[in-house]
Amino acid sequence: MSNQSVSVVKVACVQLAPPDGSDKRARVDHAISVIDRLPAVDLIVLPELWPVGYFRFERYEEEAESMEDSLDDGVAAAIREVAIRRGAFILGGSFVERTAHGRLHNTSFLLGPGGELLMTYRKMHVFGYRSQENVLLAAGESITVAETRLGVIGATTCYDLRFPELYRALIDAGAQIVLVPSAWPKARLDHWALLNRARALENQVYLVACNMAGTDSDTALAGNSMVVNPWGEVIARAEEGEQVLLADLDMELLRSIREEFPVLKDRRPGIGSNVSIQNAIAPASDRRT
């Protein structure tokens, strides 16, 4: 499925701290200044809702942009300029998107090195635990992948990590690299590390998870962006503060793992819906007291 032409993909996670009281333009300028100091890489990934701050719920409505406006003179336009300047693919993290129907979404976007929009993804699982995301934002309804010279790239967002069926759908669509912009809290850091490894291992993909750092509206964020290979091994991991994480994705390794240990070929799609369920509860007379 892929028109891949490179054997090693150089990737950078730009792990940003939450925005302070500065305006959006200043926050975007800061992110771009970090990107401009990167060494030469093929793929750059930003975190979830970095332009507004995930926990700044009061800003969602005011700072929402349509995708068209964002590409014309908003967050996506600024990221497009740096993608062209650097000749790199950039997953611009996510921003609050306003649709033509007035609904708000947590939307990520992938730009090519020529500035072309290759993919958008609206977060499918909106978070409700001590969060207003599921009140303020609508859930997305579909997945997408982009066939690139780096390989087939898919995306999920943060809380999506807890839903393995979404990743199976991406695998069925041909994904080889899954990008995960996130704003994962420090309180559940162990879950973050475990789920990133599990999603990469069970789907035999490279998983590039770029998290926010620092503190956002009194919530400590985990940082610890990481890159996990198809064996579930963490090949690069950030610390808690704002930093850049660099890693090389060996695409030949991905192919060899899938060929030599073809677990994905042993799947039984639809097993949850077409397999009979037997009652394994013993009769009361046979139970031990």
For CA atoms 170, 173, 179, 182, give the dihedral sign.
negative
> Where in the sequence numbering do the catalytic residues fall?
48, 123, 158
136: CB partners within 8 A, 6+ apart: 57, 60, 61, 104
Question: Could you give the CA distance from residue 259 to residue 59 in angstroms, rounded to a whole number?
Answer: 48
How many whole angstroms separate alpha carbon 208 and alpha carbon 284? 50
Q: Is 136 exposed, middle or buried (0-12, 13-18, 19+ CB in 10 A)?
A: middle
**Helices (H) then strands (E): counts for the chain:** 9, 14
> By the 8 A CB rule, do 181 and 94 touch?
yes
DSSP class per residue in 83-145:
HHHHT-EEEEEEEEEE-TTS-EEEEEEEE-TTS-EEEEEE-SS---TT-SHHHHSPPP----E
The identity of residue 136, as a single letter, is L
Report how far residue 18's alpha carbon sits from residue 127's, in angstroms, rounded to the nearest whole number: 18
Amino acid at 56: R
Q: Which residues pair with 195 in a beta bridge?
A: none
d(CA 129, CA 126): 10
Alpha helices in 147-250 (DSSP H): 164-172, 189-203
